[in-house]
Amino acid sequence: MLQHAILIIGVAVFLVVAVSCAGAREEKTPDPKAYVIPPGARVETAAYMETLATGREDDTLLVDGEAEFKTRVYGDKLLEAPVTGQPCLYYWLEVAYETPKADYHLITDISANDIYVSAGGAYVEVGRAKRGPDADVVKTYKTGEEPAAFPAPAHTYPEVTYRLWLLEPGVEYHVRVEKFGSAIEPEDPEGDVIYETYYHFTFR
């Protein structure tokens, strides 16, 4: 009788723990649509990062004295990533035939979606999202077996490798913002030099 009671209590405890863990997993699973910019949201240009900067280290804007700050990424719309089909806000796809001596480039495809970081109570437009050094997805396909949605152009290589960089909804990234400037000489000798400022956002 005692063993039976202990068994019932053990099963009950297991079920409570299992349900709690399942609930915790569900809470941690992001709703991708929550990372689409809502109508009427406060949106600022990339230059807004300068108002948040507490200093500068070479080209890097310091936020709270640090070269990086943490944020999730938002977009004007939700995208479907090439190769994987998963929800994303930004992707950079490169397709090549890769050999130990050289890579033969076939495709570069970059998503057309305005993306933002959350900073200073606003959604800040990302001026230029830089491609990271390491791809999030690397897959090699025999020729003719490539993903139907992103086939490589006609070629004579035996296989092609797809390298995919992603910014995903719900993921917290470390972001570095760098400010650069350039001067464009006027075509008219008496014209004014045009100065341009732009910002690089690096995610890791």
User: Is the separation of the CB atoms in 111 and 91 below 8 Å?
Assistant: yes
Report percent pLDDT > 70 for the chain.
85
Q: DSSP alpha helices (H): ranges in the chain?
A: 2-28, 48-52
pLDDT band at 13 (very low <50, low <70, confident <90, very high): very low
Task: Report the first-to-last Cα separation within the chain, whole angstroms.
Answer: 58
Q: Report the amino acid identity of residue 82.
A: P
Q: Using CA atoms, how far apart are residues 54 and 61, in angstroms rounded to an integer?
A: 8
Q: In 10 A of CB 100, how many CB atoms?
A: 5
The per-residue pLDDT for range 137-191, each reduced to its tens digit, is 999 999 989 988 888 888 999 999 999 999 999 999 999 999 998 877 777 878 7
pLDDT band at 128 (very low <50, low <70, confident <90, very high): confident
Summarize the confidence of residues 12-40 as an average pLDDT. Answer: 60
- Single pTM value for the model: 0.76
pLDDT band at 136 (very low <50, low <70, confident <90, very high): very high
The per-residue pLDDT for range 34-48, each reduced to its tens digit, is 999 999 999 999 999
pLDDT of residue 76: 96
Rg of the chain, C-alpha, whole Å: 24
